[in-house]
A and B are shown apart, each in its own frame.
Chain A
Amino acid sequence: MQPSTTIKRTPFYDFHRALGAKMVEFAGFEMPVRYTGDVHEHRCVRERAGLFDISHMGEFHVEGPGALEFLNRAITNDLAAAAAGQAVYSPMCRPDGGIVDDLLVYRFADHFMVVVNASNIAKDFDWLRGQCPQGVRLEDRSDRTALLAVQGPKAPDVLRGLVPDAALDLGYYRFMTGRLLGIESVISRTGYTGEDGFELYFDARSAAPVWEGLMRAGKERLEPVGLGARDTLRLEVGYMLYGNDIDDTTSPLEAGLGWTVKLKKGEFVGREMLVGQKEQGLERKLAGFALDGRRVPRHDMAIESGGRGVGRVTSGTFGPSLERPIGMGYVEAALAETGTALEVRVGEALLPARVVARPFYTRGSRRA
Chain B
Amino acid sequence: MGYPADVRYTREHEWARLGGGQVTVGITSYATEQLGDVVFVELPAVGKEVEAGKPFGVVEAVKTVSDLYAPVSGRVVEVNVALAANPALVNQQPFGDGWMIRIAPRDAAQMSTLLSNDEYGKMVEEQHA
Chain A residues proximal to chain B, CB less than 8 Å:
22, 33-34, 37-40, 42, 228, 231-232, 294-296, 298, 317-318, 320
Contact = CB atoms under 8 A, between A and B. Distances in A.
A298 B65 contact: yes
Contact of A295 (B33, B37, B40, B91): B40
Contacts of A39: 37, 39, 62, 88
A38 B37 CA distance: 6
A161 B31 CA distance: 43
Contact of A317 (B33, B42, B58, B63): B63
Interface of B: 33, 36-37, 39-40, 42, 58, 60-63, 65, 88, 91
B33 A318 contact: no
Nearest to B84: A294
A142 to B, nearest CB: 26
Contacts of A42: 62
Contacts of B33: 22
B42 A295 contact: yes
Given A22-B33, A228-B36, A38 B42 contact: no
B36 A296 contact: no
Contacts of B61: 38, 318
A296 B39 contact: yes
A34 B88 CA distance: 16
20 contacts: A33-B63, A34-B36, A37-B91, A38-B37, A38-B62, A39-B39, A40-B37, A228-B36, A231-B63, A232-B62, A294-B39, A295-B58, A295-B60, A296-B39, A296-B60, A296-B62, A296-B65, A317-B62, A318-B61, A318-B62
Contacts of B37: 37-40
A43 B55 CA distance: 33
A42 to B, nearest CB: 8
B67 to A, nearest CB: 9
Contacts of A37: 36-37, 91
Given A39-B39, A228-B62, A232-B63, 16 more contacts: A22-B33, A33-B36, A38-B36, A38-B63, A40-B37, A228-B36, A232-B62, A294-B40, A294-B60, A295-B40, A296-B62, A317-B62, A318-B39, A318-B40, A318-B61, A318-B62
A263 to B, nearest CB: 38
Contact of A320 (B58, B60, B62, B65): B62
Contacts of A294: 39-40, 60
B31 to A, nearest CB: 13
Contacts of A320: 62
Contacts of B36: 33-34, 37-38, 228
A225 B63 CA distance: 14
Contacts of B39: 39, 294, 296, 318
B91 A296 contact: no
Contacts of B65: 296, 298
Nearest to B60: A296
A19 B28 CA distance: 22
Contacts of A296: 39-40, 60, 62, 65
Nearest to A42: B62
Nearest to B39: A318
The 5 closest A-B pairs by CB, nearest first: A294-B40, A38-B62, A39-B37, A318-B39, A38-B36
Given A228-B36, A295-B40, A318 B60 contact: yes
Nearest to A320: B62
A340 to B, nearest CB: 24
Nearest to B42: A295
A270 to B, nearest CB: 33
B60 to A, nearest CB: 5
Nearest to A37: B37
A350 to B, nearest CB: 15
A40 B91 CA distance: 12
Nearest to A296: B60
Nearest to B63: A228
Nearest to B64: A298
Nearest to B87: A294
A64 to B, nearest CB: 43
